[in-house]
Copies of this chain bind each other. A is one copy, B any other.
């Protein structure tokens, strides 16, 4: 566990990504340098009637320590977040949880993202590219219902990786669910060189987990759970393990190995 810090940070940038998605960027955050892809932060909007903090994956950390999250408005808390304006204060606790482990040099990275699972994987891909991991070895499968669910297209493209958008209604990229193109890709490649990273809706995570097990491909899944604390002390965010027993999504996770948890 990295020692998390709690900071009152200012909202320095807010972008409406349409379709109820927003990107907001905060600063300063003492622990910005310690953040790694997969880590999350717990956001608290001071003086609101919302009791718990809200967990959000880190979407990016800039060289001067700006920290970005990308989120979807689904309830009261995210609505309040979306209503924030420049210079509003948010208290950030983090970084929290486990992070994605790095692929081996020669591995092909298969990223399977969807919905609010996209931000941590964008962060992951960005850092891989920054660390000189060959962009052409990164395969970014990004599924959504419709073209508006595929966020930050230009940002992904700019990374120079292999981008495979997939939409259920076919309005952007291939039509259908991510499963098919992912399996096709796997079958066209040397399976022992692949590594999967997935974060997204439960259905997608289940599929990624099954695919990994079926083809014996290692990899990692980033999970969600309601999180009262985010630091491992409430035992509220548990998930069942395949080997029996529970793990805390906030402490042992949110990043788990394929085949490790019951989904």
Residue A47 lies at the interface, judged by CB distance under 8 Å to chain B? yes
Max chain B CB contacts within 10 Å: which of A47, A48, A49, A80? A47
Instruction: State the Cβ distance, A257 to closest chain B Cβ, in Å.
Output: 40
Residue of B nearest to A49 (CB): B49
Give 6 pairs: A residue, B residue, CB < 8 Å, sorted on A: A47-B48, A47-B49, A47-B80, A48-B48, A48-B49, A49-B49
Counted per complex, copies of this chain come to 2
**CB neighbours of A49 from chain B (8 A):** 47-49
Q: Mark A62-101, 1 if CB is under 8 A from B, else 0.
A: 0000000000000000001000000000000000000000
A80 to B47 CA separation, bound complex (whole angstroms): 9
A49 to B76 CA separation, bound complex (whole angstroms): 14
Instruction: State the Cβ distance, A100 to closest chain B Cβ, in Å.
Output: 35
**CB neighbours of A48 from chain B (8 A):** 47-49
Residue of B nearest to A45 (CB): B47
Residue of B nearest to A83 (CB): B47
Q: Mark A45-57, 1 if CB is under 8 A from B, else 0.
A: 0011100000000
6 nearest A-B residue pairs (beta carbon): A49-B49, A47-B48, A47-B49, A48-B49, A47-B80, A48-B48
